[in-house]
Amino acid sequence: MTHQSSAIQRRLAFTLVELLVVIAIIGVLVALLLPAVQAAREAARRTQCSNNLKQIGLGLHNYHDVLKTFPSGFVANSSSDGNGWGWGAFILPYIEQKSLYDALEVSKVKVPTTATTLTKTRIDAYRCPSDVGPDVNTHRGNHGTSNYAGVAGASSDGGVIDGTNNNGLFFRNSRIGMHSITDGTSNTLAVGERAYNSNPWNGAVWVGRSTGYANHLWVLWDNADHRLKGTYQWAFSSLHPGGVQFVLADGSVRFLSETIDGTTLRRLAQRNDGQVLGEF
């Protein structure tokens, strides 16, 4: 009986070869499933990013409903005094951040030239879940990081970013109302993504402009770059594979392919160029 039990136990045990085969099969299955799991996670992050942009779009529209204009890209006395609260600060009451808006006294005081605990606040609505940048942007005056940039318009370089004749929605002291978007709100970009690791300027901040640091408002299409996700300092950028998400002036969110035609992109960035826009 003892000999018979021992034989049964030997038959039930795995040999080393069998164990290695099982491990190899598991490894193959994991290798096959991992890309699918990663793709599912990225799809969820992209959906959350889209929801952030929808919330921003709703905040911009609510601001417009009250004040009959979209917020300024940022408010400053002149191009030489280029510091001021930006649109990301102005719409805080309309994205469930009124307590922060009141604590910052946005409507009463100038933007602080030195970062404070409040200006370092992480605002989830301004962070793309796919972006791995830190909560505080040390490249932008140590203010809270943002992954979304207002569209100032289309330009061949960044030289007009502080001017008042930009052809987009957000620039210094801009006060653009719906009536000024003659190309149509469904044909005009409002806010798009800006990844933290975009060279050479490492993303954006939500407070506006402070101590001369360019903020996330001034992301322009660069005619010389001819790419949506370019490395030029004013290029839009994203960690989503294949393109960048934008909220348009009508509040809808679109994913623009990184292979989008440059002419189409430039026309989308302008509110009043009067040009016929094709499919995008």
End-to-end CA distance of the chain: 79
Q: How far apart are CA 40 and CA 45, in angstroms?
A: 9
Reported as a pLDDT band with limits 50, 70 and 90, residue 160 is: very low
H helical segments located in 92-151: 98-104
Among 272, 270, 158, 167, CA closest to 224: 158
What are 89-142's pLDDT values in tens digits? 999 999 999 999 999 999 888 888 789 999 999 999 999 999 988 999 888 888
pLDDT of residue 255: 95
- What pTM did the predictor assign? 0.82
pLDDT digits (tens, 9 = 90+) for 3-17: 555 555 555 666 777
**How do residues 203-227 score in pLDDT, each as one tens digit?**
788 998 865 544 434 444 444 444 5
| CB 192 within 8 Å of CB 254 | no
